[in-house]
Structure 1
Amino acid sequence: MMINIPLRILLVEDEKTDVVLIKRNIYQVVEKPVIEVVNDFPDFESVFKNFLPDLVISDFSLPSGTGLDVLELIKSIDESIPLIFITGALDDDELAAETIVSGASGFILKKHMSYLDQKLEPLLKQVVYNMIQHDELRERIRKNKIAIHQIYGYLESMKADDKEQRDNIKKIKNNLNKFNIENAE
């Protein structure tokens, strides 16, 4: 059965052929996915903060950084966003267990790429189930977080000429941090 909720998916993958295969498999499971693709950790960081996906699918080995870096950034911004690793690097059972203990929602080995849709389907259905449970609240929080990140960016770009302006910028940042913490609870 197809998932008919338009999932926002951020795909972190540096191999173009794997991007094509993964996207094809997502389309077999999700009717109208919105998929953003980045190929390294620095790009992931900037896109993630503005796109705020429902789900991240990431390779474990990246040109700059690892899947655990991706996981750490996700958890620092929004713990509720699930991460699925699709990788050839997790042959090591200990490393696989570590990713799950660290908070990944699951992982799929690239050697199973030929039936990736069957592996993805139960994980994506769980994501959708969790989304439906928190849908309205989640959308308000997403909009608030995007606004907060935009305000932070604006504050960072401001050149404060005098002490009073610098103090005011600091006060705004502190208030935003309080707002962020209260909304996270």
Structure 2
Amino acid sequence: MSNDIFKVFILEDMEADLLLTKRQVRKFLPSVLFAVARNRTEFEAKLIEFQPDIVLSDYNLPDMNGLEALLYVREHLDSTPFVFITGILNDEERVAETILNGASGYLLKENLQRLPPLLESVLEKNAAVLRHKEEEWERRRKNQIGIQKTIAALREAEIPGKEELLETLQEVFDNIR
């Protein structure tokens, strides 16, 4: 990892688990800034302002569950990786549900020593996804510019059926936005 400050948001209501999680994160990310929430109110108040690089969340919290937290993150910070660190996701059906709803991974608290390699894997995958999204955005931008130039040139040209071509190009342009 680089020497940049990495921002980790932890949603955890148990102080001992919070301290253990922080210790494991620091093994992988020495330059880390934490934000912590212990319930829904703190979570919603801090998350968006903090703009974390990753969210680590327990599944069972006093006034919400981890799936609600995951969906909130997906709604407000869609590309932010989200990892469950919990004691109860030993139910295969629940694990599948969390992954299908956009979790980047999960770890049982009893295996907390595995957090550094999990973080590395999640962050590498997320970086690849972000690169792909950026490349896709750039490709679409280039296509839009090309179509706009073609439309401009076509407007100046004296070509039979020009209006139909302009309409078609405009439809293509509208569909790639």
**TM-score (ref. length: structure 2):** 0.68
Is residue 21 from structure 1 mapped to residue 20 from structure 2 by the alignment? yes
Paired residues for 1:11-160 under 5 Å: 11-127=10-126
**Contact between 2:6 and 2:31, CA under 8 Å: does it hold in 1?**
yes
Consecutive unaligned residues of structure 1, counting only runs of 5 or more, are 136-184
| Structure 1 residue 6 displacement after superposition | 2.0
* Secondary structure of residue in 2 paired with 1:18: helix
| Structure 1 residue 128 displacement after superposition | 5.1
Consecutive unaligned residues of structure 2, counting only runs of 5 or more, are 135-176
* Secondary structure of residue in 2 paired with 1:85: strand
**Contact between 2:81 and 2:123, CA under 8 Å: does it hold in 1?**
no
Identical amino acids, percent of aligned pairs: 33
Q: Does the C-alpha gap of structure 1 residues 116 and 82 become closer, same or farther in structure 2, counting only changes over 3 Å?
A: closer
Q: Does the C-alpha gap of structure 1 residues 132 and 9 become closer, same or farther in structure 2, counting only changes over 3 Å?
A: farther
RMSD: 2.2
Q: Please give the per-residue CA displacement for 1:20-63, whole angstroms capped at 9, x wherever unaligned.
A: 11101111101211111111121100001211211111001111
Q: Does the C-alpha gap of structure 1 residues 120 and 83 become closer, same or farther in structure 2, counting only changes over 3 Å?
A: same
How far, CA to CA, are the matches of 1:86 and 1:3 in structure 2? Answer: 24
Q: Does the C-alpha gap of structure 1 residues 80 and 99 become closer, same or farther in structure 2, counting only changes over 3 Å?
A: same
| Structure 1 residue 83 displacement after superposition | 0.5
* Secondary structure of residue in 2 paired with 1:107: strand
Tell me which stretches of 4 or more aligned residues in structure 1 moved more than 3 Å.
Answer: 2-5, 124-135
Q: Does the C-alpha gap of structure 1 residues 10 and 133 become closer, same or farther in structure 2, counting only changes over 3 Å?
A: farther
**TM-score (ref. length: structure 1):** 0.65
Task: Flag the structure with larger Rg.
Answer: 2
Q: Supply the AA of the counterpart residue of 2:86.
A: T
* Secondary structure of residue in 1 paired with 2:60: coil
**Contact between 2:84 and 2:107, CA under 8 Å: does it hold in 1?**
yes
Q: Supply the AA of the counterpart residue of 2:52.
A: P
Q: Does the C-alpha gap of structure 1 residues 51 and 36 become closer, same or farther in structure 2, counting only changes over 3 Å?
A: same
Match of 1:5 in 2: 4
Q: Does the C-alpha gap of structure 1 residues 126 and 30 become closer, same or farther in structure 2, counting only changes over 3 Å?
A: farther
Aligned residues: 135
How far, CA to CA, are the matches of 2:23 and 2:84 in structure 1? Answer: 17
**Contact between 1:5 and 1:30, CA under 8 Å: does it hold in 2?**
no
Q: Does the C-alpha gap of structure 1 residues 63 and 75 become closer, same or farther in structure 2, counting only changes over 3 Å?
A: same
Q: Supply the AA of the counterpart residue of 1:25.
A: Q
